Amino acid sequence: MANNGILGEFNPSDINHFKKDFTQMIKVGAEIDRYYAEAHHDLDVLIPKYEKLAEQFNKKYKGIKIKTRKAIDRYIVRIFVKSRDIKEFFAESAARIPGIKSVGRSNPSQVDVSDADKLARFLDGLLDKLQISYLDPESGTSTIVAEMNPKEKMIEMMYNPADIMNENSAIFRICAFYALREGFNRKIEVYGDANTFGFFNLLDEIEGREWYDKFNPRFFE
């Protein structure tokens, strides 16, 4: 993994520790979502167990939070990071990710970051929502959507599971930054407990792409 930029201040072993915990939480959440859509018989056991594990995760990492919500046909795993507002979020994390290309509110291509004056005016008027486009020479383009949540007083990260589990993606680096910057409690077990769900065959490449594609529309509304 590229340990530079906003993650350069952290120990690689700490980053790897978070990666294992976090990606396993995302994987299990995605599988429960699949079961939920199929009205699987053992959801009454899986959901309370996962929500208890999310509480453990939130105690372990103070700068990031996992919350869940049941929709009609979805089990939604939501991700929040601890930043006071969108402007602070942009300055302390998102703007420090290599490859940042453009930003916007309604779409990620409204303002090119190379136009300093226009960018400054845009940031002055920034309130509750931000979309950011990145261009990586190896992985191509990616987009982050972040929104201030007044109830949680944190920034919600809209995400695609495949992207957020990629340790080189902008969104993973941002999540790792907030999770690690306040330290974490190694004594709280997450990864091992997440493995007890028994989701060992977690989607082959094609099936996974088709499944994760269904998440995309709500990210960019």
What would the mean pLDDT of 53-62 be, rounded to a whole number? 98
Please determine, for residue 136, whether its predicted confidence score (pLDDT) is greater than 90.
no
Mean residue pLDDT across the chain: 87
What integer pLDDT is reported at residue 216 of this predicted model? 47
Residue 141's DSSP bridge partners are: 135
Sign of the alpha-carbon torsion through 23, 25, 28, 34: negative
For tokens 């980053």, name the residue.
15
User: pLDDT of 170-190, one tens digit each?
Assistant: 999 999 999 999 999 999 999
Higher pLDDT, 208 or 179: 179
pLDDT at site 3: 42
Answer whether residue 206 shows pLDDT above 50. Answer: no
What domain range includes position 83?
A: 5-219
Q: Is the pLDDT of residue 66 over 80?
A: yes
Percent of the chain residues past pLDDT 70, beyond the cut: 86
11-55 confidence digits (pLDDT tens): 999 999 999 999 999 999 999 998 898 888 889 999 999 999 999
Q: What is the mean pLDDT of residues 112-140?
A: 88
User: What is the number of other CB atoms lying within 10 angstroms of the CB of residue 65?
Assistant: 20
Pairwise CA distance, residues 75 & 150, whole Å: 22
Residue 197 has pLDDT above 50, yes or no: yes
Residue 219 pLDDT: 42
What local confidence, expressed as pLDDT, does residue 205 receive?
Answer: 45
User: How much is the pLDDT for 128?
Assistant: 92
In contact, 57 and 184? CB cutoff 8 Å: no
Average of per-residue pLDDT across 81-90: 95
- Average pLDDT over every residue of 110-137: 91
Domain count, the chain: 1
Whether 213 has a pLDDT exceeding 80, the answer reads no
Which amino acid is located at 12 in the chain? Answer: P
The pTM of this model reads: 0.87
Sheet holding 111-112, edge to edge: 64-70, 75-81, 154-158, 140-149, 129-136, 100-104, 111-112
Determine contact, residues 37/74, Cβ cutoff 8 Å: yes
